[in-house]
Structure 1
């Protein structure tokens, strides 16, 4: 067996990535699902977004729609990434890197927009800050790993055309 063949496969540190891809949609659904479902079904959304109500602010509607859409995008993306991971598709490392980078950009933007709404609560609560730190640490660890790791390069090759593989100077089996 060649050195490259020993590296090929969902082993090593990729096991942690696989576990994270299984846990992420479950965790997101558990934490965000009930929150957004209740918000859009119990009248909270209308109360916050209807002019004349006590808690109305013009930024509530775009902020809440943005947050719900972003969470839906994360959920769907995590399922697509889990599929790409399981099939060892060559697009997985790039897709996963984007998936990890988005929260690093979106969370501070979301917090800034939320801070513009006078609501009595500090949007920079410990849970939110913890989530931001978690996102930054994950991005700092896994994005470079996706682009530098020999195991990643040897594993995620499915779906890549023979022409692209030859042009990039890699051998094919």
Structure 2
């Protein structure tokens, strides 16, 4: 089969990937902003981080700041991922996989760290378990697709360096 017959373009199963890529930043924003915004408005931050308050724990501030920083970084990464997807940039599959792997590490790590300030709570409450398994199942499906799909290999080629490592005049790295 010649490369001209290979499936190419943002169609086929990539439509589902594209829907996830578009909805990802929206989903993250709509699920995290309502959680973190009230912390700074209703006095929760002060209660958790003020020495001597009943709810104080010295780990609350670094954990909350870390969670907020992670979510902001993930939001930016998901916007960048959408840009890579629609520009068909060669980095899209790698960045997609990296985001999945980072999520699979951070979700249980965050749950474990929360155990230090809330030891009586289950480490994986239903919400955290659902999020972890959502990312895990998505990763089980889409990571192999990113690595093995002919459509992915044929579609995400923009900006790819040629064998000498230089981009050609068109910026695609394709040789003339």
Relative to the length of structure 1, the TM-score reads 0.89
Distance in structure 2 (CA, Å) of the matches to 1:91 and 1:36: 31
Distance in structure 2 (CA, Å) of the matches to 1:48 and 1:76: 28
Secondary structure in structure 2 of the residue aligned to 1:8: coil
Label 1:153 to 1:52 Cα distance change in 2 as closer, same or farther (>3 A).
Answer: same
**Runs of at least 5 residues in structure 2 that lack an aligned partner in the other structure:** 167-173
Asked whether the equivalents of residues 48 and 61 of structure 2 are also in contact (C-alpha less than 8 Å), the reply is yes
**Runs of at least 5 residues in structure 1 that lack an aligned partner in the other structure:** none
List structure 1 segments (4+ residues) > 4 angstroms apart after TM superposition.
Answer: none
1:86 aligns with 2:86: yes
Kindly state the Cα deviation for residue 5 of structure 1 after the two structures are TM-superposed. 5.1
Distance in structure 2 (CA, Å) of the matches to 1:86 and 1:161: 19
After the TM superposition, which residues 1-173 of structure 1 pair with which residues of structure 2 at under 5 Å, given as runs? 3-4=3-4, 6-118=6-118, 121-163=121-163
Distance in structure 2 (CA, Å) of the matches to 1:25 and 1:99: 12
Secondary structure in structure 1 of the residue aligned to 2:160: coil
* CA deviation string 1:56-101 (max 9, x = no partner): 1111111101111111111111100000000000010000100111
Count of residue pairs the alignment pairs up: 169
Q: Over aligned residue pairs, what C-alpha RMSD do you find?
A: 2.2
Structure with greater helix share of residues: 1
Distance in structure 1 (CA, Å) of the matches to 2:4 and 2:51: 63
Asked whether the equivalents of residues 4 and 154 of structure 1 are also in contact (C-alpha less than 8 Å), the reply is no
